[in-house]
């Protein structure tokens, strides 16, 4: 009888615990980042920020499964396949490289698993049902850049960008903005991420002698094409995209980067923002946390995206836990629904407001134009 009594008590206790903790399972997040290869300058800062990610959210343990995609689309796709088939993750973060994130997207969609990209990956209409972006769209950032060019009196622009999806998207999205602003695109040149020289392209661009040259590259790889252009004696203005808004640009390029204009989210220079800016408080919190862990001056645009990922998860995962248990299709769908309905949320990179119709979320006021002055980014 004593044994039966203990058994009944244990059963009641288990049933009671299941009522107060209906999820009763870990939340698993697959993370694919460029920790090696040309994109490592973007992936490593994101990984550093993720080391500060909370161990629990909404009372449930959160496991981050971090894999290196080596800046390779094929490897990224392989990581995504492992996440959904072996690790049974509840959502995917990655990649920080546009071409890699694009290669992962079909797998995430096929599995009905949310993918939050750390890069501005462009997908055909209707293909991003499960894909959300942490970075601002190239259209939003291009808007800030073109408005700045207009104020600078620029009339002609040359383009030097990656041959991959990131370069193609920038060319596609900024071309009509330049045309509308009355700025003529006079030369277009491309180069591959692994290239170590752009001498032929630089010669053609400098021969066209545009008022400004837009370089579309990322991380430490953004300095090389700019140095190549400067070596050819170019004296006009040089613009870089938000993928180059990193200390690596100055670290690799040195004093030659002074005078470069870089579009960025507000997370890189929060102290210079007015107190009325909605992202200032959140962005300063990001910078203080990150630099305490990684050293003064180590702040990074892509680390900011990883911080914003945490902000989103701390808001959305408790919502999803009220609807379903981790490890189920229902929970994955609840995460997607939560992201689409979480409403205006202050990110370090701006005000995010994802919806069912918009998985980019940022407004045209998001972009901040910076100038490299004495090796430091200064708000224009």
**Which pLDDT tens digit goes with each residue over 125-136?**
889 999 999 999
Preceding omega of 95 cis (within 30 degrees of 0):
yes
CA dihedral 286, 290, 291, 293 (to 10 degrees): 150
Q: Where does 135-181 show beta strands of DSSP type E?
A: 156-162
**Looking at residues 49-55, what average pLDDT do you find?**
98
Look at phi and psi of residue 30 and say left if phi exceeds 0, alpha if psi is from -120 to 50, else beta.
Answer: beta
231, with CB counted inside 10 A (0-12, 13-18, 19+), is middle
Judged by DSSP in three states, 296 sits in coil
Kindly tell me if the per-residue pLDDT of 53 is higher than 90: yes
Among 2-6, 97-101, 320-324, which stretch is predicted with the lowest mean pLDDT?
2-6
**Confidence tier at 5 by pLDDT (50, 70, 90):** very low
Please state the rounded mean pLDDT for residues 207-226.
95
Nearest to 96 by CA among 59, 52, 46: 46
Q: Decide which of 5 and 358 is more confident.
A: 358
pLDDT band at 19 (very low <50, low <70, confident <90, very high): very low
pLDDT reported for residue 249: 92
Region 336-353 average pLDDT: 95
Q: Report pLDDT digits (tens) over 274-299.
A: 898 899 999 999 999 999 999 998 99
The pTM assigned to this predicted structure is 0.82
Q: How many CB atoms lie within 10 A of CB 375?
A: 15
d(CA 180, CA 97): 29
229 closest CA partner among 213, 216, 251, 245 = 213
Confidence (pLDDT) at 14: 36
Burial call 282-298: b when 16+ CB within 10 Å, e when fewer: bbeebbeebeeebeeee
d(CA 214, CA 161): 8
Calculate mean pLDDT across residues 57-86.
97
| Domains defined for the chain, CATH in brackets | 9-136+288-352 (3.40.50.2300), 138-264 (3.40.50.2300)
Strand runs (DSSP E) across 111-254, as ranges?
114-117, 131-133, 156-162, 184-191, 212-216, 237-240
Q: How far apart are CA 59 and CA 318, in angstroms?
A: 8
Query: What sign has the CA pseudo-torsion 341, 344, 345, 351?
Result: positive
**Average pLDDT score, the chain:** 92
For residues 80-102, average pLDDT: 97
What was the pLDDT predicted at 24?
Answer: 56
């Amino acid at each position: 009888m004593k044994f039966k009594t203990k058994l009944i008590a244990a059963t009641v206790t288990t049933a009671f615990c299941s009522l107060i903790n209906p999820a009763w399972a870990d939340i698993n997040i697959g993370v694919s980042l460029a920790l090696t290869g040309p994109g490592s300058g973007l992936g490593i800062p994101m990984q550093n920020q993720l080391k500060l990610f909370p161990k629990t959210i909404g009372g449930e343990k959160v496991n981050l499964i971090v894999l290196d995609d080596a800046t390779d689309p094929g490897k990224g796709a392989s990581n995504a396949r492992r996440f959904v088939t072996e690790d049974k993750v509840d959502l995917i973060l990655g990649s920080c490289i546009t071409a890699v994130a694009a290669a992962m997207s079909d797998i995430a969609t096929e599995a009905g698993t949310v993918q939050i990209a750390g890069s501005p990956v462009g997908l055909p209409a209707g293909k991003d049902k499960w894909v959300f972006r942490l970075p601002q769209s190239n259209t939003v950032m291009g808007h800030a850049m073109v408005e700045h060019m207009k104020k600078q009196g620029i009339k002609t622009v040359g383009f030097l960008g990656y041959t991959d999806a990131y370069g193609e998207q920038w060319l596609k999205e900024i071309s009509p903005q330049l045309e509308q602003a009355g700025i003529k695109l006079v030369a277009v040149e491309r180069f591959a991420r692994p290239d170590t020289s752009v001498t032929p392209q630089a010669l053609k661009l400098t021969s066209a002698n545009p008022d400004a040259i837009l370089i579309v590259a990322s991380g430490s790889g953004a300095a090389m094409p700019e140095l190549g252009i400067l070596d050819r004696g170019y004296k006009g203005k040089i613009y870089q995209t938000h993928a180059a808004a990193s200390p690596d640009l100055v670290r690799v390029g040195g004093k030659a980067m002074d005078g470069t204009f870089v579009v960025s989210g507000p997370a890189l220079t929060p102290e210079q923002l007015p107190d009325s800016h909605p992202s200032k408080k959140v962005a300063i919190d990001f910078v203080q946390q990150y630099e305490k862990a990684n050293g003064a001056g180590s702040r990074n645009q892509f680390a900011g995206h990883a911080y914003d990922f945490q902000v989103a998860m701390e808001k959305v995962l408790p919502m999803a836990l009220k609807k379903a248990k981790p490890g189920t299709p229902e929970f994955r769908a609840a995460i997607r629904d939560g992201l689409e309905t979480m409403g205006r949320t202050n990110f370090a990179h701006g005000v995010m407001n994802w919806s069912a119709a918009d998985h980019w979320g940022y407004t045209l006021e998001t972009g901040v134009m910076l100038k490299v002055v004495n090796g430091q980014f200064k708000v224009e």
